[in-house]
Amino acid sequence: MSKNNKVTPPEAIDERSVDTIKKPSILQDAQLLETTTDDIDQPSSVILPQENLKISSDLAQTTIDRLATLSELDYELQRTETAKSLNNMSVRSLDKLVKKAKSKIKSETSESLVVDTEPYSEPVSDIASVADQIYQILDDHIACTHAVKVATTLWILMTWFIPASHILPIAWINAPERRCGKSTLLTLMSRMSKRSLSTSNITGSALFRSIESYKPTLFIDEIDTFINDNESIRGVLNAGHSRDNPYIIRCVGDDNEPLLFNVFGAKAISGIGKIPSTLIDRSIPLTLRRKMRDETKKRVRDLPLDVTSMIQSQLARWSDDNLQVVKDAKPVLPVTINDRAQDNWQILFKIAMILSDDWLEKAHRACIEISGSDSDEPSSNEQLLSDIKTVFSLNQTNRLLSRDLLTELRRDPEMSWSTYNEGKTITLRQIAKKLSAFRISSRDLRAFDINGNEVRGKGYDVLDFQDAFSRYLS
């Protein structure tokens, strides 16, 4: 190494020259903002979703409707991210909404169980003649009284005036035996009623769902085979009688969510024998009889569809044109029928009043014959009350021991209490339970027994029955 090339020791290096290498010039924040530019057309805040951005309900529903059309696999692939994008909705909530949307799409695309009738092209000026035609069809095919044919005709017309009705009486087609034409009458009624839906059996859930979805006129045949053991069906039929409380609540779906179902609608049922008293109370009984051997009736299958279709079309037009007229009608109902029967017959009287004076007179006579006070069949409790009144009267006494009352009730062959329990006599406990419904109970008292001896024991005083006698037997 040359003597002239000396190495400068590190500590001798000029600190200023080092600084220029180690410390590049750094712009201040303010200078940086002034000198930098963004070559993106729009700010990133417009493109990227913000935490506070809310999805509108319309946009959310559009997204849900789209998801409802996807296959199961495609939906599974998208559900989590989509739920997050819908304002962080839970996946569970999204599943429920999509399921509901799928059901709506299915109901809109599936074939309806009922058929809507095209109204007649011209106004129906003589509706009474249409009613006469319905009556004649019933007379040609069914063996029954004049009153039943009148009531049935008016009931068929009623199905076209559901919006004008506050009470919809059940048409209860009954007969003492088979082969009396119950199914035939049900078929005839269905062919002339509005939005008919017929079945020979139905579950409780199918019943309320069908009424809610289709608003049909429901025809249930052979109801005696399953109604008495099915509380669910009885509840739906009872609730559908009046607009005052036409809803039932049922839990549906995987989450058993309680929902309201509107079951108000027209219903006709047929069967042999008894139906529950709550249904009888809400019904107009249409009792049929077996035709005589020399009596000839036509077959329903020979009745042309064109005939009944024309009747439906005319009724559709007439109801459209006269809905408010029927709703505003103020007929006078027979005073000899009870309050519930008046409720049941009111809409039939309204229709008859608009038909003609002749039809109004027919309705009045039919109502008295079918639902008059003399035709009211008492309940088991009312029958016991009536028979106890008879026992007090026959014994010419105001007090009876419980055991003597029981003896007298089973002594009379015209009373049913000796065979009340499947061939065995009614018990004192059962008598007490029935009377408790009228707020009557036995007590300790003195009375004359059946041998004429004055004794003390549990029994009944006729004074305790006076209120019940007045309310239920007068």
In order of 391, 431, 462, 472, the CA distances from 396 in angstroms are: 8, 21, 11, 22
φ/ψ region of 88 (left if φ > 0, alpha if ψ in -120 to 50, else beta) reads left
What's the pLDDT score for residue 107? Answer: 65
d(CA 153, CA 361): 14
CATH among 2.60.120, 1.10.10, 3.40.50, 2.30.29 for 380-472: 1.10.10
What's the pLDDT score for residue 46? Answer: 39
Which residues, in sequence order, are CB contacts of 373 under 8 Å at separation 6+?
Answer: 336, 337, 338
Burial class (CB in 10 A: 0-12, 13-18, 19+), 404: buried
φ/ψ region of 167 (left if φ > 0, alpha if ψ in -120 to 50, else beta) reads beta
Tokens of 335: 């005073």
What is the identity of the amino acid at 152? T
Question: Are the C-beta atoms of 348 and 155 separated by less than 8 Å?
Answer: yes
What is the identity of the amino acid at 334? P
In order of 152, 270, 283, the CA distances from 367 in angstroms are: 11, 20, 12
Mean pLDDT, the chain, as a whole number? 85
pLDDT (tens digit, 0 to 9) for every residue of the chain, 474 residues total? 444 555 555 555 455 544 445 555 555 555 545 544 554 444 443 334 444 567 888 888 999 999 999 988 889 999 999 998 888 899 999 998 998 888 777 766 556 788 999 999 999 999 999 999 999 999 999 999 999 999 999 999 999 999 999 999 999 999 877 778 899 999 999 999 999 999 988 888 899 999 998 999 999 998 888 887 788 899 999 999 999 999 999 887 777 888 899 999 999 999 887 788 889 999 999 999 888 788 889 999 999 999 999 999 999 999 999 999 999 999 999 988 989 999 999 999 999 999 999 999 999 999 999 998 554 566 788 889 999 999 999 888 999 999 999 999 988 777 788 888 767 889 999 999 999 989 999 999 988 877 778 889 999 999 999 999 988 886
In the chain, what are the domain boundaries?
Answer: 57-109, 127-375, 380-472
d(CA 440, CA 461): 10
What's the pLDDT score for residue 28? Answer: 56
Which residues, in sequence order, are CB contacts of 182 under 8 Å at separation 6+?
Answer: 173, 174, 175, 221, 270, 271, 272, 288
Q: What 8-state DSSP symbol labels residue 247? A: E
The residue among 144, 145, 167, 143 whose CA lies nearest residue 155 is: 167
Q: 389-392: which pairs have CB atoms within 8 A and are 24 or more residues apart?
A: 389/465, 389/469, 389/473, 392/462, 392/465
* Strand runs labelled E in 213-339: 217-220, 247-252, 257-262, 267-272, 283-287
Task: Give me the CATH topology for the region 127-375.
Answer: Rossmann fold (3.40.50)
The residue among 93, 90, 94 whose CA lies nearest residue 75 is: 94
* Dihedral angle sign, alpha carbons of residues 317, 166, 345, 305: positive
d(CA 301, CA 254): 45
